[in-house]
Amino acid sequence: MFIQKIRKIAVITTITGLIAAFPMSAFAATNSATQHASVHTSKQTTAVQSQKKNLESQLASIEKSIESTKKLLEQAKAAKSKSKITKYEQKLKSLEASEKKIKDKLKALK
């Protein structure tokens, strides 16, 4: 059961890392041949809103991963397993760095 929890956290961390590494420019609005400015504005607004929702969902999953990693770190500290402690501390640092990047991107969008 403990191994399953570790696997689940590893999968969540991997997926989160892949999502965070995916370029947000892929979701950016492209210029089209529409003559009306309001259409371009609404497309840009929609793109920004979708980026914002995407970042918020990424942030939520990273926060969940951080909480579960903290719990596993506490368990490792209780078991006094140095290798697991360093492993979870490194994961925690990388997750917190990802969280900070996403929060900065969200602030830039607002």
Query: Does 1 have pLDDT greater than 70?
Result: yes
Number of domains in the chain: 1
Q: Is residue 39 one of the residues assigned to a domain?
A: no
More confident residue, 81 or 31: 81
Of all residues in the chain, what percent carry a pLDDT higher than 70?
A: 76
What does pTM read for this prediction? 0.56
Q: Is residue 14 one of the residues assigned to a domain?
A: no
Q: What's the start-to-end Cα distance of the chain, in Å?
A: 42
Query: Does 32 have pLDDT greater than 60?
Result: no
Q: Is residue 34 one of the residues assigned to a domain?
A: no
Q: Is residue 109 one of the residues assigned to a domain?
A: yes
Q: Is residue 31 one of the residues assigned to a domain?
A: no
Query: Does 8 have pLDDT greater than 80?
Result: yes
Residue numbers of the domain that contains 55: 48-110
Q: Is residue 33 one of the residues assigned to a domain?
A: no
Q: Is residue 97 one of the residues assigned to a domain?
A: yes
Q: Is residue 15 one of the residues assigned to a domain?
A: no
